[in-house]
Amino acid sequence: MSPPPLRPAPMWPADVLRVGGYGLRSRPLRVVLSALGIAIGIAAMIGVVGISASSAQEIERRLSAFGTNLLTVSAGQGVGNDPVHLPDTAIGMIGAIPGVESVSAVGRTEARVYRNDHIPARRTGGIVVYAARTDLPAVIRSRMAAGAWLTAATGTFPAVVLGAAAASELGVVETGVDSLVWLGDRWFTVVGILAANDLISDFDYGAFVGWPAARAGLAFDGHPTTIYTRAADDAVRTVQPLLGATANPEDPGAVDVSRPSDALAAKQETEQTLRGLLLGLGAVALLVGGVGVANAMVISVLERRSEIGLRRSLGATRGQIRTQFLAEALLLSLLGGAGGGLLGTALTAIFASYQGWRTVVPAWAIAGGVGATLVIGGLAGLYPARRAARMAPTEALLAP
Cα dist from 210 to 125, 134, 159, 225, 318, whole Å = 21, 7, 7, 15, 88
Q: Of the listed pieces 2-10, 154-162, 284-292, 344-352, which binds another protein according to CB under 8 A?
A: 2-10
By beta-carbon proximity to another protein, the closer residue of 151 and 394 is 394
* Contact (Cβ atoms closer than 8 angstroms) between residue 259 and residue 236: yes
> Residue 382 Cβ, how far from another protein at the closest point, in Å?
20
Query: How many CA atoms does the CB half-sphere of 188 hold within 13 Å?
Result: 34
* Total chain residues near another protein (CB under 8 A): 37
By beta-carbon proximity to another protein, the closer residue of 16 and 374 is 16
Rounded distance, CA 247 to CA 92, Å? 9
> Residue 338 Cβ, how far from another protein at the closest point, in Å?
24
397 touches another protein (CB under 8 A)? yes
393 touches another protein (CB under 8 A)? yes
> Residue 345 Cβ, how far from another protein at the closest point, in Å?
34
By beta-carbon proximity to another protein, the closer residue of 10 and 276 is 10
> Residue 291 Cβ, how far from another protein at the closest point, in Å?
28
3 touches another protein (CB under 8 A)? yes
394 touches another protein (CB under 8 A)? yes
Question: Where do the H-state alpha helices sit in 85-210?
Answer: 90-95, 136-140, 164-169
Residues forming a β-bridge with 70: 230
Which string of x and - marks every residue 288-327 that binds another protein (by CB under 8 A)? ------------------xx-xxxxxxxxxxxx-------
8 touches another protein (CB under 8 A)? yes
User: Rounded to the nearest 5°, which phi and psi values hold at 183?
Assistant: -130, 120
Dump the DSSP string for 74-112: EE-B-STTPBPPPPTTHHHHHHTSTTEEEEEEEEE-S--
Burial 333-343 (b: 16+ CB within 10 A, else e): bbbbbbbbbeb
* Contact (Cβ atoms closer than 8 angstroms) between residue 257 and residue 229: no
By beta-carbon proximity to another protein, the closer residue of 10 and 371 is 10
Nearest Cα to 68, choosing from 273, 186, 231?
Answer: 231
* Contact (Cβ atoms closer than 8 angstroms) between residue 59 and residue 268: yes
By beta-carbon proximity to another protein, the closer residue of 84 and 310 is 310
7 touches another protein (CB under 8 A)? yes
Q: Of the listed pieces 7-15, 94-102, 107-115, 369-377, which binds another protein according to CB under 8 A?
A: 7-15
DSSP 3-state of 206: strand
Rounded distance, CA 77 to CA 71, Å? 19
Q: Of the listed pieces 8-16, 31-39, 66-74, 269-277, which binds another protein according to CB under 8 A?
A: 8-16
Q: Of the listed pieces 4-12, 57-65, 247-255, 366-374, which binds another protein according to CB under 8 A?
A: 4-12
> Residue 309 Cβ, how far from another protein at the closest point, in Å?
8
Q: Of the listed pieces 81-89, 165-173, 223-231, 386-394, which binds another protein according to CB under 8 A?
A: 386-394
* Contact (Cβ atoms closer than 8 angstroms) between residue 383 and residue 294: yes
> Residue 319 Cβ, how far from another protein at the closest point, in Å?
7
390 touches another protein (CB under 8 A)? no
Burial 353-365 (b: 16+ CB within 10 A, else e): eeeebebbbeeeb
By beta-carbon proximity to another protein, the closer residue of 267 and 390 is 390
253 touches another protein (CB under 8 A)? no
Nearest Cα to 345, choosing from 51, 32, 57?
Answer: 51
Binders of another protein among residues 10 to 69 (CB under 8 A) are: 10-12, 14-15, 18-19, 22, 25-26
Query: Between 318-355 and 305-313, two packed helices, what is the crossing angle to 10 degrees?
Result: 130
> Residue 378 Cβ, how far from another protein at the closest point, in Å?
23
> Distance from CA of residue 257 to its chain's centroid?
27
Binders of another protein among residues 365 to 384 (CB under 8 A) are: none
Q: Of the listed pieces 1-9, 72-80, 350-358, 362-370, which binds another protein according to CB under 8 A?
A: 1-9
Residues forming the site for another protein (CB under 8 A):
1-3, 5-12, 14-15, 18-19, 22, 25-26, 306-307, 309-320, 392-394, 397, 400
